[in-house]
Amino acid sequence: MSRTPKPPKGGLAGVDELQKSMREMRAAELAILNQLVKEKPELAKPDRHDDLLEEFKRRLEKSRPR
């Protein structure tokens, strides 16, 4: 009978690190979005959401390490 292999000990540590990294990334993205809306409140209006998204993408690219 075939047994499923056990995950290596400490295998969940990598998952915890990944989750922590994702939380940090979301927090950074939210900070960028909040700063953008503070600087340009007109972009928060529903009819300007496309412009808001484009500006957010530009700022997000600038903030990423190369």
Non-local CB neighbours of 28 within 8 Å, separated by 6+ positions: 63
Q: pLDDT tens track of the chain, all 66 residues?
A: 567 776 666 666 678 888 999 999 999 999 999 999 999 999 999 999 999 999 999 999 998 877
Non-local CB neighbours of 40 within 8 Å, separated by 6+ positions: 55
CA 26 centroid distance within chain: 3
Distance CA 66, CA 64 (A): 6
The DSSP result for 40-60, as a single string, is -GGGGSGGGHHHHHHHHHHHH
pTM: 0.69
